[in-house]
Amino acid sequence: MSLQKILLQFEPKPENLLPALKEIQKENKYINRENCLKVAKYFSLPLAQVYSFASFFDEIKLKKSGKKIIKVCSGGPCMMKNSTEIVRQIELLLKIEAENDAHPKYKLEYISCRGLCDRGPIVMVDEQVFEKVRPEMVDDIILNYL
Ligand code: FES
């Protein structure tokens, strides 16, 4: 879907900026400067404001990444449901370290609460969301979605 078609799904109101950016990212994997410019024009905002807004949210990517990004929620409720063990399982399986950018193919990140606490622990592989993840599910998720 073209950027213009995506934007037309949203009224150009400030509360629609984040949903519009997420939708654009779904199509394009990241939001480049040119698309940021078009978003700014559509919402009648300065480019710097859109850029700064987008960079505030860790789920909005402003640069192309060749890596598969695995994210594990580190919010309190997910931590209470053993998300730390899930991180450890992923680290062991992929031989990576959370928040370390050294691996050429994978990156494991902590993310803040996604508002899905009752369905936690939450794991995301790129934009795919996995809910109620248990440590014994990690191998299947990683092997099927990477
Ligand atoms: S703490 Fe993980 S979704 Fe809320």
pLDDT digits (tens, 9 = 90+) for 125-143: 977 899 999 999 999 998 8
31, 51: one domain: yes
pLDDT at 99 over 80: yes
Angle (deg, nearest 10), helices 47-56 and 17-28? 80
What pLDDT does 76 receive?
96
What pLDDT does 98 receive?
94
pLDDT at 118 over 90: yes
| Count of beta carbons in the 10 Å neighbourhood of residue 5 | 9
Domain that holds residue 111: 68-145
Number of structural domains found in the chain: 2
What pLDDT does 108 receive?
93
Q: Report the pLDDT averaged over residues 29-37.
A: 89
Atom of ligand 1 minimally distant from the CA of 73: 2
Q: Which residue has the tokens 């629609």?
A: 16
Cα(119) to centroid(ligand 1), Å: 8
136, 114: one domain: yes
What pLDDT does 109 receive?
93
What pLDDT does 55 receive?
87
74, 133: one domain: yes
Mean pLDDT computed over every residue of the chain:
91
Please state the pTM of the whole predicted model: 0.64
Contacts of 33 by beta carbon, 8 Å cutoff, 6+ apart: none
Contacts of 47 by beta carbon, 8 Å cutoff, 6+ apart: 36, 37, 40
Ligand 1 and 120: CB distance under 6 A? yes
Ligand 1 and 73: CB distance under 6 A? yes
- Give which of 134, 131, 110 is closest to 122, Cα–Cα: 131
Q: Please report whether residue 61 resides in a domain.
A: no
What pLDDT does 81 receive?
95
Q: Edge to edge, what strands does the sheet with 106-111 contain?
A: 106-111, 68-73, 123-125, 128-130
